């Protein structure tokens, strides 16, 4: 069994990989030395770390499940679906694609530089810091780590103290399966995070709340450290009338998976609220109720609320006098076991906290509109979300949603599954964050694209040098306005 939250916080600068007890300054210095010696740049080192991570996930699967169960009450099926399985897929993908990602990209060179070659060479940024979040504590720690390692960086990982068992699992195992001098897990609470930001990093990735993100950015600015933020927001679900009972049932299954089966709604990409036409709302609610009863006959098939503070926060949303009358289903709470029943609300006041703050829990407001097209204006009036979901067979509506709204991603006729597709970048826009990762995008997030050019001596165009005259200007006009072959033909008098 893992450490308690208090014990994890008291660990301060506890570091994995046999460096337990090192001060933060010494830890950062060791990471910097591991990178500066050049070891992390080799493809052999990168592959070895990724293979070590695969072994960790496979050999320590049961321990990972237990940590996630203790921290969040996640059933092992959910833990595998959303975290362990996704990570195995991502790691295998990185191993398969690493050579391609590392290959320099050739760039076309204009005539003014002839003879020359140019390319873009990806190089590691250096020593990077990853702050992960408590709701998907394994996935949000290791998914960016895969990209950072694939890119050739040394990495410090600061897991959330709010999920202490998973944090301890990472600290106990990362150093056993990966290079302990170049990949370190640092345990502790907010004070440790503040101390980490006093040091210079080459990139910081933070996943969490906007409030803490502002503090991270302010601290990073002292060293001009680039920052990527993954923040979330109120992700809407636009629900159009379905053409058949089968399509309706499948859509409801997917909504439930995208809300209550994703860490009990405690996920940045979980559905926050649903927009539906007034005439269709009763049908949708009826199928939601019946399906919820079927899916969650066993209460342990849904994760619990992470801690008492978040439980009280969610409870207060329901206890709001203006909100309570809108509860149509669920609403029961078990403070001892940190359990809140899947809850459906119909048209809570739009100025209430449940509609102005990110819910991050198993409460689902349903907002009715006169016609489904009105949902677009509703979404546009809110801060830009991390994801927009829309269940519709209407191609024109789909085009309007893509063209007229802004979000980190748009998913049609499903929810949350886009997170597992490596070919799609994961990241926000506006208040939902900035910076993208997953698959090749993770590699690029932790890489610098270095421009490299090489010229030869075969030809020297003296028109680039003074003294100036009009003939040189005329020649330069050709160079800048026409392609190489057109210029050569004109120069040789073969084309007017």
Q: pLDDT truncated to tens, each residue of the chain (496 aa)?
A: 333 333 333 333 344 433 334 589 999 999 999 999 999 999 999 999 999 999 999 999 999 999 999 999 999 999 999 999 999 999 999 999 999 999 999 998 877 777 889 999 999 999 999 999 999 999 999 999 999 999 999 999 999 999 999 999 999 999 999 999 999 999 999 999 999 999 999 999 999 999 999 999 999 999 999 999 999 899 999 999 888 999 999 999 999 999 999 999 999 999 999 999 999 999 999 999 999 999 999 888 999 999 999 999 999 999 999 999 999 999 999 999 999 999 999 999 999 999 999 999 999 999 999 999 999 999 999 999 999 999 999 999 999 999 999 999 999 999 999 999 999 999 999 999 999 999 999 999 999 999 999 999 988 878 889 999 999 998 888 777 765 544 454 444 444 3
| CATH number of 399's domain | 3.40.309.10
Residue 127 sits in the same domain as residue 271: no
Residue 184 sits in the same domain as residue 258: no
CB 361 within 8 A of CB 264: yes
| CATH number of 83's domain | 3.40.605.10
Question: Domain for residue 494, yes or no?
Answer: no
Question: Domain for residue 405, yes or no?
Answer: yes
Question: Domain for residue 188, yes or no?
Answer: yes
Total domains, the chain: 2
Residue 159 sits in the same domain as residue 284: no
Encoded tokens for 386: 């991390």
Q: Which residues contact 357 (CB under 8 A, 6 or more apart)?
A: 234, 317
Residue 412 sits in the same domain as residue 368: yes
pLDDT at 482: 65
| Residues 104-158 pLDDT 10s | 999 988 777 778 899 999 999 999 999 999 999 999 999 999 999 999 999 999 9
9 phi, psi to nearest 5 deg = -65, -40
Residue 211 sits in the same domain as residue 266: no
Residue 56 sits in the same domain as residue 149: yes
Which sequence positions are flagged as catalytic?
A: 230, 268
Question: Domain for residue 224, yes or no?
Answer: yes
Domain interval for residue 369: 236-427
Residue 281 sits in the same domain as residue 341: yes
| Residues 442-472 pLDDT 10s | 999 999 999 999 999 988 878 889 999 999 9
- For every residue of 194-246, DSSP letters joined together read HHHTTS--SEEEEES-HHHHHHHHHHHHTTT--EEEE-----EEEEPPPSSHH
The pTM for the full model equals 0.90
Q: Which residues contact 101 (CB under 8 A, 6 or more apart)?
A: 122, 150, 440, 443
Residue 74 sits in the same domain as residue 212: yes
């Amino acid at each position: 069994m893992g450490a308690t939250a208090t014990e994890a916080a008291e660990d301060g600068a506890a570091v994995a990989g046999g460096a337990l007890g090192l001060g933060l300054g010494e830890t950062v210095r060791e990471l910097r030395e591991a990178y500066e010696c050049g070891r992390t740049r080799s493809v052999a080192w990168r592959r070895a770390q990724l293979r070590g991570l695969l072994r960790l996930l496979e050999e320590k699967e049961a321990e990972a499940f237990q940590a996630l169960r203790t921290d969040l009450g996640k059933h092992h099926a959910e833990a595998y679906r959303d975290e362990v399985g996704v990570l195995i897929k991502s790691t295998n993908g990185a191993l398969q694609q690493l050579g391609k990602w590392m290959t320099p990209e050739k760039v076309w060179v204009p005539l003014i530089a002839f003879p020359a070659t140019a390319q873009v060479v990806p190089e590691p940024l250096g020593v990077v810091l990853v702050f992960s979040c408590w709701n998907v504590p394994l996935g949000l720690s290791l998914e960016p780590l895969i990209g950072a390692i694939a890119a050739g960086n040394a990495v410090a990982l600061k897991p959330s103290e709010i999920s202490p068992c998973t944090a301890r699992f990472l600290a106990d195992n990362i150093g056993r399966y990966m290079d302990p001098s170049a990949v370190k897990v640092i345990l502790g609470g907010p004070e440790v995070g503040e101390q980490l930001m006093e040091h210079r990093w080459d990139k910081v990735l933070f996943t969490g709340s906007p409030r803490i993100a502002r503090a991270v950015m302010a601290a990073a600015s002292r060293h001009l450290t680039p920052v990527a933020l993954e923040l979330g927001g109120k992700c809407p679900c636009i629900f159009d009338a379905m053409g058949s009972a089968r399509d309706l049932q499948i859509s409801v299954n997917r909504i439930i998976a995208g809300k209550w089966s994703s860490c009990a709604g405690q996920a940045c990409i979980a559905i926050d609220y649903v927009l539906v036409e007034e005439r269709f709302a009763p049908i949708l609610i009826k199928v939601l109720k019946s399906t919820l009863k079927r899916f969650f006959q066993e209460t342990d098939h849904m994760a619990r609320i992470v801690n008492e503070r978040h439980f009280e926060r969610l409870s207060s949303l329901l206890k709001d006098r203006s909100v309570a009358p809108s509860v149509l289903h669920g609403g029961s709470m078990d403070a001892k076991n940190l359990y809140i029943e899947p809850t459906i609300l119909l048209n809570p006041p739009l100025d209430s906290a449940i509609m102005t703050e990110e819910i991050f829990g198993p409460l689902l407001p349903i907002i009715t509109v006169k016609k489904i097209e009105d949902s677009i204006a509703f979404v546009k009036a809110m801060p830009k979300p991390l994801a927009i979901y829309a269940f519709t067979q209407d191609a024109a509506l789909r085009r309007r949603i893509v063209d007229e709204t802004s979000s980190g991603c748009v998913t049609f006729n499903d929810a949350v599954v886009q997170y597992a597709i490596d070919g799609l970048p994961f990241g926000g826009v506006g208040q939902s964050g900035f910076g993208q990762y997953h698959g090749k995008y993770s590699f690029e997030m932790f890489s610098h694209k270095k421009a490299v050019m090489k010229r030869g001596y075969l030809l020297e165009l003296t028109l680039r040098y003074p003294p100036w005259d009009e003939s040189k200007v005329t020649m330069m006009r050709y160079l800048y306005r026409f392609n190489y072959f057109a210029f050569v033909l004109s120069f040789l008098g073969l084309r007017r």
